[in-house]
Amino acid sequence: MNPRSQKKVTLILIIALIALIGFLVYRSRTPNTLTATLGNPFVQNVDSQSITQMNITQQEKITTLSKESNIWLVDQPIRFPADTSVIEDLLEKLNTMRVQSIASKTKNNLEAFELDLEHRTIVDLFQKDQKSLSIFIGKIGPGQTTYVTSEQVDRVYLMNQELTSNFLEDFRDMMILSFDPQEITRLQWTRDTGTLTIEKKESVWSGIESDVFDIDQENFDLTLSEITYLRAQDIPDQNQSVTSPILTISFFVGDTERVLKIFPFEKDAQNILVQNHLGYFYWISLEQFQILDITKEKIAKK
């Protein structure tokens, strides 16, 4: 190869290398891209584990969900645990939804798909502090589908996923506590008037006070299934200032204790304030309180 040809080849290789480096830099700065190929995923390269924040905008309402130490939190109206299953399901749908058809080749009639400002839901995903993806979600289409577009595309697409059920009015987790009844070995109810303790040995519950008493096993098993799976009726929208609890229930799984505190309430109260072992407040109903309010007379074998 003569020197001139060798220089030409070298120049071509340098240009190709520069182009490759530029492409890789571009891809690294735009990790999540949108495609419009029929039958293929609309969203590419969304690693749900790397998403640290999600903003969901509906009209003027913005819900911010942030992940800290692998726990999703709702930032408004006060920081509170989010329903992780709903968030993970949404991320999974976004990551796997495919273009089923082109609903419109233009964005001139977004109202028909409820993708206009008044109706659409905007989902922004962040990796650390950088927005990695923004999708506009419209109404449900035929057969578990959804109309979708974004600022990055100039068409409206029909996706093979139903997404709107994931956009809850309240993303906060309503679960106060949840145990496997079979794993609980001891329960304790503490009031100003004293403490009631019961223990399970060889699958049989018995009460421990000044003297041991037998428990109606069948009825108590039904009660136990209710008090170990407790969902809130509602959640306070502001931090609570509380007095001493009127009842503290301790759940023991081996040596691990989980505490539920129930605070004073008026006789005709519709909602009763409780606090779980993580320090979060919830409202329960009077009927739920009556189930939790166990006494010796309620569970002792007749």
For 210-238, the pLDDT digits (tens) are: 667 889 888 898 889 889 999 999 999 88
In this structure, of 35-49, 66-80, 178-192, the range with the lowest mean pLDDT score is: 35-49
Residue with tokens 């779980």: 276
pLDDT in the model for residue 48: 76
In this structure, of 2-16, 124-138, 235-249, the range with the lowest mean pLDDT score is: 2-16
pLDDT in the model for residue 258: 94
For 126-146, the pLDDT digits (tens) are: 988 888 888 999 999 998 899
pLDDT in the model for residue 27: 43
- The CATH class that applies to domain 175-299 reads alpha beta
Spell out a b/e string for 255-292, using b for 16 or more CB atoms within 10 Å of the CB, else e.
Answer: eeeeebbbbeeeeeeebbbbbbeeebbbbbeeebbeeb
pLDDT in the model for residue 284: 97
Q: In the predicted model, what is the mean pLDDT of the chain? A: 86
The strand pairing partners of 146, in sequence order, are 140, 159
pLDDT in the model for residue 1: 56
% of the chain surpassing 70 pLDDT: 86
**Which segments of the chain belong to CATH 3.30.1490?**
175-299
- pLDDT band with cut points at 50, 70 and 90 for residue 77: confident
Give yes or no for residue 291 having a pLDDT over 90. yes
Instruction: Compute the average pLDDT of residues 47-67.
Output: 89
The neighbour count for residue 302, using CB atoms within 10 Å, is 5
Tell me if the pTM is above 0.85.
no
More confident residue, 113 or 38: 113
CB 65 within 8 A of CB 56: yes
For 86-118, the pLDDT digits (tens) are: 898 888 888 888 999 999 999 999 999 999 999
- pLDDT band with cut points at 50, 70 and 90 for residue 29: very low
Instruction: Compute the average pLDDT of residues 244-269.
Output: 93
Instruction: Compute the average pLDDT of residues 276-280.
Output: 93
Angle, alpha carbons 265-271-276 (nearest 5°): 85
